[in-house]
Amino acid sequence: MEGLKKTSHINTKSAVLILENGEILWGYGLGAKKAVIGELCFNTSQTGYQEALTDPSYAKQIITFTFPHIGIVGTNSEDLESSKIYADACIINQPPNFHSNWRADNDINSFFIHNDIPCLYGVDTRYLTKKLSDEGAKKAALIYFGDKKSSLDALKDEIKKWSGLENLDLAKLVSTEKKYEWDKGTWSKESKKNNKNKYRVTCLDFGIKQNILRNFHEFNLKPTILNLSSSYEEIISTNPDGIFLSNGPGDPFATSQKIIGVLKKLIEKQIPIFGICLGHQILSLALGAKTKKMFQGHRGSNHPVKNLTNNFVEITSQNHGFEVDRNTFSNDIIETHISLFDGTNEGLRHKNLPVFSVQYHPEASPGPHDSHYLFSDFYNLITKHAKKN
């Protein structure tokens, strides 16, 4: 057993999942002893559980991991996508008795406890995944009681009262309060040691992941991160060579109401704009398109996307429960990418303006480098715009 470290969990304490239809699944608990209510979803990734848990896009969601061995490599201080776990809770099939990895700082149970997050294990995650696939996303409550059990009726009522993710602006809860700059690159051995940060990119933070910022640094871009509610004047005062619209949680229409007027001004100014995930959806709204709730959403790191420009297929990482409705595109918008799972929109660009966006996460690298060209495209767009001015 050399190299294996015992994971600290106790399998005698009760936890439960309650679905919005009243169905109850009993299991065991890890992490914090508490109750949460959120949207139940599933993630099909076989690796990267720490990155998923700390992705702000998972706010108010309970993640069911379809891969059974979550926690086997422990957790570490380098694979965080933000400062904490943003998912409300998670569900795993089997508890890890040991974790083993040379980079591990701690076990996953300690990670949950430190972040005040409950986890349920010992339930059939295949059943939950099939149910969500067939019936769509569901509201749910997850409760880790510990030794003390209590009535579930009050929580059933709370589930019914909760409105769900539609019309919910969650990005405002995860966006940075203070402006800051980023100066760290990726962990690649080929990382640029003498990065001069030739161009400035102002990032509107809807729930930005740190690996996006690392990739910008690798492409000689200097990111400045602002709160999503920043005014046009505040954004322009950063002297941006480009604007980035980040990923994030919640309903894009609800979030866009704060920023859409500002974004339209930035589009008119013809500053290069690049958006991903929620940023893609909000950019689409600013260009006159519409968004809608998906039946079950896309969450995982094995999603095939077809690039309609070159007919190549990219294996992508995704996490979204809303989509852009291509039927609402104006004649000025060109669809650039589509999902090969369900045919939904995955990207666009404007015919005449320097703006483009994708629905997936090019920084997550499941391909592993299938989508890195998007950072290069953004850099080239900025360079072209800078030469004109």
- C-alpha pair distances (Å), 321 with each of 140, 170, 318: 16, 13, 10
Helix spans in 225-297 (H)? 232-236, 252-268, 278-286
DSSP 3-state assignment of 138?
strand
List the catalytic residue out of 277, 298, 314, 320: 277
Do 123 and 92 meet the contact criterion of CB atoms below 8 Å apart? Answer: no
- Rounded to whole angstroms, the Cα distance separating 171 from 88 reads 15
Q: For the CA atoms of the chain, what is the radius of gyration?
A: 21
Instruction: Work out the burial of residue 224: count CB atoms within 10 Å of its CB; fewer than 13 is exposed, 13-18 middle, 19 or more buried.
Output: middle
DSSP states along 167-197: T---HHHHS-SS-EE-----S-TT--TT---
Is 361 annotated in the active site?
yes
Residue 41, classed as helix, strand or coil, is strand
Residues 319/44, Cβ–Cβ less than 8 Å: no
Q: Where are the alpha helices (DSSP H) in 219-337?
A: 232-236, 252-268, 278-286
Q: Residue 288: which residues within 8 A CB-CB, separation 6 or more?
A: 328, 330
Strand pairing category for 61-65 and 89-92: parallel
Catalytic residue list contains 203: no
User: Bridge partners of 29?
Assistant: 120
Q: Which of 51, 81, 323, 363 is catalytic?
A: 363
Tell me which residue of 333, 332, 385, 338 sits closest to 358, measured CA to CA.
338
For the four alpha carbons of 86, 91, 95 and 101, in that order, the dihedral sign comes to negative
Residue partners of 241: CB distance under 8 A and separation at least 6: 199, 200, 201, 271, 272, 382, 385, 386
> Is 69 a known active-site residue?
no
Active site residues: 277, 361, 363
